[in-house]
Amino acid sequence: MDDETARDRVVRTADELFYTRGVQAVGMDAVRTAAGVPLKRIYTLFASKDELIVAVLRHRMSIWDAGLAGATERATTARERILAIFDFLDAWFREPDFRGCGFVNAFGELGAESHGVTEAVREQKATFQEYVARLVEEAGAPAHVAPQIAILAEGAQTTAAISGTPEAARQARAAAETLLDASGAN
């Protein structure tokens, strides 16, 4: 197995383990066993567990970005693309393995201890906020609406994870519609 294949296998395996069990609860031996990659090889691919966690977060960011793009590509207006974010969240919240936002979970566990985790999480959140800001601008709404929409999406993720029900996505979508209506968005 070449380095790229091994790296991908380790990242995907660690992502699943970290997301379902928690980052701190999963040791490198568990990653080794589940990935079928020797520990020595893992440490040649990733200098530390922290480096692996950051790689997992970057992987998760690409999954998030692709999911958002897929959910919004069918929409014909910026307003529809904004609301499609909440439809994307609704579908995600209904998945049997939904455990909340992996970025928030990792930050909650390690943000105070890991500069790399903090930076990766902040990058993902900033990228999402920038995406929403572009859509809000395209919809003709005032700039101050963008962080409000982003907060609705972020809050829905936390609420759904804690409550164990996907209803937060629909509730946040309704609030986003109200914000868009009040702002005169197209």
Q: Are residues 66 and 24 in the same domain?
A: no
Q: Are residues 6 and 54 in the same domain?
A: no
Residue with tokens 């992996």: 102
Q: What is the pLDDT of residues 38-97, one digit of tens each?
A: 999 999 999 999 999 999 999 999 999 999 999 999 899 999 999 999 999 999 999 999
Task: Report the C-alpha gap between 112 and 101 in whole angstroms.
Answer: 18
Could you tell me if 61 and 11 are in contact, meaning their C-beta atoms sit under 8 angstroms apart?
no
Q: Are residues 91 and 168 in the same domain?
A: yes
Give me the domain span that covers residue 128: 50-183
Q: Please state the domain count of the chain.
A: 2
Q: Which of 143, 144, 124, 141 is nearest to 177 (CA)?
A: 141
Task: Report the C-alpha gap between 173 and 170 in whole angstroms.
Answer: 5
Q: Which two tokens stand for residue 7?
A: 């790296």
Q: Does residue 184 register a pLDDT over 90? A: no
Q: Are residues 91 and 158 in the same domain?
A: yes
Q: What is the pLDDT of residues 21-43, one digit of tens each?
A: 999 999 999 999 999 999 999 99
Q: Are residues 57 and 108 in the same domain?
A: yes
Q: Are residues 154 and 87 in the same domain?
A: yes
Q: Does residue 119 register a pLDDT over 90? A: yes
